[in-house]
Structure 1
Amino acid sequence: MTKLTASVLKTPILKAPKLYLLTNDDEFELLYAKLEIALATGLIGLLQVRRKQMLALPDGQEKLYNEAIKIVALAKEYRVPVVINDDITMAAKLGIGVHLGQQDGDISEAKRQLNVDQIIGRTCHGDIELIEAAQNDGANYAAMGAIFVSSTKPNASTISLQQLIDGCQKKIDICIIGGLTVENIRQLAGLPINYIAVVGDIMDLPVESIAKRCRQWQQALNDWSVV
């Protein structure tokens, strides 16, 4: 993708996006330690519990719920809202929001089960019709991507710059995901993006490197309007 300026969109430069952190599949004690450091930086604006390897276990649902209770409690200490991936029922049980893939439940059902202040996100890839549907159905944000090739989902198709620009014109918060790093996010500076979803660029680092990487992300977001 080519670096943008605000003039490309003919719209005022908006405030910097929030960093949206997703969990990885680390062993739980290690995951928790990393989350505690990342949340303590004050940088994280939204947290998603996504533990696909855990769910593949015979008792994965129960284990995930027990982990999620601890993660939600930790996030609450730092006043960071939480969503869980794909599971409306568990989201309602935990009192948190939900992120839904296209095949993982209806937004209307999520709105029925969740409180009005709980966030509902929808995967929309680069499809404008899906973004419009998410907006009309009452989702809080539409997730677009993959922006770059991702280590988490290496086979996911990347979207074009024009698709991203078009998505940003819709009246719904836009979340970008897929291969995003401190280094390449600067290519998107000036776009009216609301959330930058990150997994590997933070969570795949050793514990002792998490705080430094978060500070680097903070600098990148501080520079968001400097294009």
Structure 2
Amino acid sequence: MIQPPVSTVSHALPKLYLLTNDDEFTVLYRKLEAALATGLIALLQIRRKHILALPDGKSTLYAEALKIVNLAKVYKVAVVINDDISLAAKLDVGVHLGQQDGDISDVKQYLAPNQMIGRTCHGDIELVKEAKNDGVSYAAMGAVFASATKPNANVISRQQLMEGCQQGIDICVIGGLTAENITELAGLPITYVAVVGDIMDLPVHQIAARCQQWQQALNNTWNAPAL
């Protein structure tokens, strides 16, 4: 699996980081194919919490993830698995971990050096610093806005994001982001913009166009001339 470089802090255009939703799998697969085919998705996270809640959740998730990883390989898109270190190791992809989902030094024993490790850091700068010291690939900060996915998440400030971006680690922003409100983050040197509902909740035939709208919004926001 092709992986982006680890912890390459950049002031370039943020990259789109797509997360799966809980659609029925055949619909999800078609949506992912439409999104990945645009060439605009840099990173894909497999997060299927409803599937895991089923009696045969683990085996179902493995079957789904295998198909998604193979699809991502076609389009040369890196993949991370949400929370599940053993599944990430089995599929030879990266992993994204919450604060309660494992010690980074332990995780590194299971994954190859080129496999990405993301860490949820909320708005806590100390957690961002810890993530950097642990050698993770990126620190995720949010929620930037309230979202349908996590309506009770604490919204963080621009100042917190600015401080996070000064810690020498790639920063991923997440939480309620849309192609319209992303303009509010103009000027911040973030690496990844994580999106779920604003792309994945659309019908299949609208997915590609929305990805294009996202790319245009990123271009307009980060390439706009300074005032």
TM range (shorter): over 0.9
Distance 2:56 2:185 in 1: 41
Letter in 2 for 1:162: Q
Deviations 1:195-218 (A, max 9, x none): 000000000001111011011011
Is the 1:190–1:225 contact (alpha carbons within 8 Å) kept by the matching residues of 2? no
- 1:134 paired with 2:121, answer no
Deviations 1:117-156 (A, max 9, x none): 1100000000011001110011000000000001100011
Structure 1 residues not aligned, in runs of 5+? 1-12
Residue 152 of structure 1 aligns to a residue in which SS? coil
- 1:218 paired with 2:215, answer yes
Distance 2:184 2:223 in 1: 12
Structure 2 residues not aligned, in runs of 5+? 1-9
TM-score norm. by structure 1 comes to: 0.93
Q: 1:14: how far off?
A: 2.0
Is the 2:11–2:191 contact (alpha carbons within 8 Å) kept by the matching residues of 1? no
- 1:187 paired with 2:197, answer no
- 1:66 paired with 2:76, answer no
Match of 1:82 among 79, 85, 90: 79
Distance 1:22 1:189 in 2: 22
Q: 1:225: how far off?
A: 2.4
Is the 1:189–1:225 contact (alpha carbons within 8 Å) kept by the matching residues of 2? no
1:1-227 correspondence runs (5 A): 14-223=11-220, 224-226=222-224
Give the number of aligned pairs.
Answer: 215
- CA-based RMSD of the aligned residues comes to 0.9
Distance 2:105 2:214 in 1: 34
Is the 1:14–1:190 contact (alpha carbons within 8 Å) kept by the matching residues of 2? no
Q: Which runs of 4+ in 1 moved over 4 A?
A: none
Distance 1:112 1:105 in 2: 12
- Percent identity, aligned pairs only, is 71
TM-score norm. by structure 2 comes to: 0.93
Is the 2:21–2:196 contact (alpha carbons within 8 Å) kept by the matching residues of 1? yes
